[in-house]
Every structure is written in C-alpha cells, then in structure tokens.
Amino acid sequence: MALDRGMLATMDEYADAYCAKDIGRLMALFDEGEDISVIGTGQDELCSGREQIQDLFLRNFSEATASRFEWHWRQTTLRGDTGLVSASLTIHLRVDGKPLQIPLRWTVVARRDGDRWLWLHRHASSAAASQEEGGAYPVE
C-alpha cells in the first residue's frame, strides 16, 4: 500500500479546516481551476466550480458542526504529478445539538504543484444499508 505523506497531510488539513468551519482554508486545498468538482452524499450534492463547492460547504456548516474526522483506512496512488487517495472514515458532528457519527468512504484526486497537492475532485459516499455483506447489489 503506497502512502504519500504530502497527500495525506491535505486530508488532515481538510478535516481541521472543516471542523473549524474555515471556508478559506478549506477552499485553499482545491485547485484554482473552475473544472474542480465535489460529489457529496446528498442527492443534490453534485458540484463543479469553486462557487458551487464553496456554497455546498457553507450549507454543510450551517446544518452541523463537525468535531473530528476519524480515519480508518487510507491509501494513496501516485502517477507522476497526479495522485489519488482512497479512504474510509467516520465524521463526528453535532446536528441540532445532538451527536451524530457518519461513516463515509472518500476518494480525492489531486495534482502536485511544486511541494503542494491541490485537490481536483472529492467524492464521498455511504455504504448502501440495504446491501447485504458479500452481496454486489442492494436487492431490497
């Protein structure tokens, strides 16, 4: 399993910025291009471009406060100046004052810019609760 510490550091920076609701730090992780994208777990969370992505994060901040990202598994894949992080995690947050833990799977695609990694895409998903372990499709 390949691990690139620079790419993994961006994951931790994302978590810190997200928990702090620091939109500037969060958006600084992304490439400046308008062809960046984020796919979230919500049905309408298909975002492209900096404005849509920022609006999504601001909406998330207004609905909940995250306190911690608990990383379970992370792997990096590198090809030249392009990298991919695959991860599983649990986000610990509060919604309407109540604690909530959300298990997620993430994919981040980034490009190297000197000694920095800039995100081009982030995808988050939840495992299908209707899909039995060992089964390929949710059949119920």
Distance CA(38)–CA(122), nearest Å, equals 5
Burial (CB < 10 A; 0-12, 13-18, 19+), residue 138, is exposed
End-to-end CA distance of the chain: 35
Per DSSP, 80 falls in state T
Which of 59, 69, 64, 126 has its CA nearest to residue 92?
A: 69
- pLDDT digits over 96-132, tens only? 999 999 999 999 999 999 989 999 999 999 887 766 7
Strand 82-95 relative to strand 65-79: parallel, antiparallel, unpaired? antiparallel
Note the pTM of the prediction, 2 decimals: 0.90
What are the structure tokens assigned to 81, written together?
């100046």
- pLDDT band at residue 1, thresholds of 50, 70 and 90? very low
Task: For residue 90, give both structure tokens.
Answer: 């649990």
pLDDT tens string 30-87: 999 999 999 999 999 999 999 999 999 999 999 999 999 999 999 999 999 999 999 9
Domain boundaries, the chain: 5-125
Distance of alpha carbon 35 from alpha carbon 79, whole angstroms: 20
- Domain 5-125 falls under CATH 3.10.450.50: yes
Helix boundaries (H) for 20-90: 23-28, 50-63
